[in-house]
Amino acid sequence: MTALSQSLLWQRMETYYNKLGPEVWQKEVVPSDITSNKYLAKLYAQTIIFHLHDYATQNPQGFLEKPFYIFELGVGHGRFSYYLIKKLLEGIEAFGWPAHLIRYVMTDISARNIESWRTNPVFKPFIERKILDFALFNALDDEPIFLIESQ
């Protein structure tokens, strides 16, 4: 028996996503509505904000000293990330916390996907505010994660 990550199917999927990048979703070859919608982003944001609130309650002195890094693995087209970042910022503002409390890191195995996010104007304000970063990441590699924007 072969592990899925060692299979020919896995290799072909990785090659496919690396080659096509965001075109996979633009041409609607891969469905994304079920995993990339505003309702799901709102639920994730609430969960993260509640965790931050719990941490702040237990660590009031050191809460704002360092940013909290949120890594999204295998982002794909980035629509969910955009919705989630917006909802996170709404929650952070509701508590009166500074926006730089979070560092959201979008990751993928496809450099084409990462370049499409970096050049997408909807992400520019988040990049400029230093709350968004990007990284090439393959969960099968035991390599350090390099944050592209912050170096």
Task: State the residue for tokens 């609130």.
Answer: 53
| Pairing assessment for the beta strands 68-72 and 102-108 based on DSSP bridges | parallel
List the structure tokens of 30: 């891969």
Residue 26 clears pLDDT 60, i.e. is over it: no
Residue 13 clears pLDDT 90, i.e. is over it: no
Q: Report pLDDT for 35.
A: 61
Residue 33 clears pLDDT 70, i.e. is over it: no
Instruction: Convert the pLDDT of each residue in 73-130 to its tens digit.
Output: 988 888 899 999 999 999 999 999 998 899 999 998 888 889 989 999 999 999 999 9
Residue of 24 and 96 predicted with greater confidence: 96
Ranges 9-23, 28-42, 118-132, most confident: 118-132
Give the pTM.
0.79
The SS3 assignment for 21 reads coil
Q: Strand runs (DSSP E) across the chain, as ranges?
A: 68-72, 102-108, 132-136
The answer to whether residues 26 and 113 touch, using CB atoms and an 8 Å cutoff, is no
